[in-house]
């Protein structure tokens, strides 16, 4: 898929106040650690994740999504009457029905002739929404659209801790299936796309490549983000990276870029091992990337676009940079999107303090 008319105009985000360290989670896991004689520090050592953030218990995803989408709309300066699509793409949602996007649409006061729906695609939900909106803009069906999502990971982490402590039938091998659940964090992000005539930034979406290897759809299964998730992390990582390498070849062809012409990358945030092996497989230098998993954990479908927003605030991405968004999710699905960047319009709330066009970010190290 190639685009001429589509611009990624602005981003908005919300980060929760509450910070939970991996050490704190291990303190709560004392019963199972003692029973199986597991060493302390194991969680951070295996994943590279020092901490993650949580929204308050019982937070409705739509309430946070309204706030992050509002940030993106305000940053863009585009009249909300021009917005022709609102897609909600996170794993978390308010209810099975109606669509969480309906609550967000109402809260934002968007026009009645706006397409409103939820997009479900595991950790690629927001990227899938970006592609859908980009297609509509390229076809001239709409002039602007917003894809937004909010992941609330507290319930999954807390339920996993309780399960590991109380189910004494679990062995060391069994516990491996639950490690990924302990890496989950919370966050919210919105992206506003528009046609070239509405754009002030001219951040061009150049191309998108997709690949599905659904042979491996059973490697990660969730009964619901508030209940339990079982993940064969090693197999999912290996097959995901193999799928990513195959998709990357297609991505270079569709963008017309050479590997050495990619200036920056933004990846789905899983952990230290995944990042290392991915960059080795793609033959890319780690310095191009901006990791956030150390401080945010895995924030699901919000992870990649949220990392993009934070990278922009930190000044990691420069004018005229070719930026590769590299998304790999369970399924296995892979989606990669090329951006030719010009100007950053980002508004966000971090620890309750408004951040806009910030050039320095001290809380999230780049390596």
In the numeric block, the tokens 């070719």 are attached to 322
Rg (CA), the chain: 19
* Assigned CATH for 201-344: 3.40.47.10
Residue 363: its pLDDT value, please? Answer: 38
**19 DSSP 8-state letter:** E
pLDDT at residue 178 is higher than 90: no
Residue 223: its pLDDT value, please? Answer: 63
**Mean pLDDT (whole number) for 97-119:** 96
Q: In a 10 Å sphere around its CB, with 0-12 CB exposed, 13-18 middle and 19+ buried, how is residue 38 labelled?
A: middle
What amino acid positions are annotated as catalytic residues?
97, 123
**Mean pLDDT (whole number) for 128-156:** 96
Its pTM stands at 0.91
**Mean pLDDT (whole number) for 107-135:** 95
Query: Percent of the chain beyond pLDDT 90?
Result: 67
Q: When comparing pLDDT for 36 and 178, which is higher?
A: 36
Say whether 129 sits in a helix, a strand or coil: helix
**Mean pLDDT (whole number) for 135-145:** 97
Residue 358: its pLDDT value, please? Answer: 34
Rounded to 5°, angle at Cα 96 from 90 and 101:
50
Residue 26: its pLDDT value, please? Answer: 95
> In this predicted structure, which of 19-23, 214-218, 246-250 has the lowest mean pLDDT?
214-218
Q: Which pairs from 256-262 meet CB under 8 Å and 24+ separation?
A: 256/207, 257/322, 257/324, 257/338, 259/283, 259/284, 261/322, 262/288, 262/322, 262/323, 262/324
């Amino acid at each position: 898929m190639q685009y001429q008319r589509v611009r990624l105009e602005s981003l908005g985000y919300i980060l929760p106040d509450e910070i939970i360290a991996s050490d704190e989670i291990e303190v709560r896991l004392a019963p199972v650690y003692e029973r199986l004689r597991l060493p302390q520090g194991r969680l951070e050592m295996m994943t590279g994740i020092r901490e993650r953030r949580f929204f308050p218990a019982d937070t409705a995803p739509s309430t946070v999504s309204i706030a992050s989408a509002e940030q993106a709309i305000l940053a863009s300066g585009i009249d909300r009457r021009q917005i022709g699509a609102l897609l909600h793409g996170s794993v978390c949602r308010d209810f099975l029905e109606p669509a969480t996007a309906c609550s967000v649409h109402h809260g934002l006061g968007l026009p009645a002739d706006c397409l409103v729906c939820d997009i479900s695609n595991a950790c690629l939900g927001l990227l899938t929404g970006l592609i859908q909106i980009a297609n509509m803009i390229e076809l001239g069906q709409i002039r602007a659209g917003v894809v937004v999502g909010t992941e609330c990971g507290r319930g999954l982490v807390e339920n996993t801790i309780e399960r590991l402590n109380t189910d004494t039938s679990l062995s060391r091998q069994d516990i491996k299936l639950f490690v990924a659940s302990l890496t989950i964090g919370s966050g919210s992000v919105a992206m506003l796309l528009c046609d070239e005539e509405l754009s002030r930034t001219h951040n061009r979406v150049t191309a998108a490549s997709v690949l599905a290897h659904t042979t491996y759809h059973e490697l990660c299964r969730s009964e619901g983000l508030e209940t339990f998730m079982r993940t064969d992390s090693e197999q999912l990582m290996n097959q995901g990276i193999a799928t990513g390498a195959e998709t990357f070849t297609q991505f270079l062809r569709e963008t017309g870029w050479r590997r050495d012409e990619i200036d920056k990358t933004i990846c789905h945030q899983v952990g230290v091992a995944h990042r290392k092996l991915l960059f080795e497989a793609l033959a890319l230098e780690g310095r191009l990337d901006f990791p956030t998993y150390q401080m945010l954990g895995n924030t699901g479908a919000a992870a990649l676009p949220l990392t993009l927003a934070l990278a922009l605030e930190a000044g990691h991405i420069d004018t005229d940079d070719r930026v590769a968004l590299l998304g790999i999710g369970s399924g296995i699905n892979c989606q990669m999107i090329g951006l030719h960047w010009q100007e950053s319009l980002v508004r966000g709330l971090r620890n309750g303090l408004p951040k806009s066009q910030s050039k320095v970010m001290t809380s999230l190290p780049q390596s």
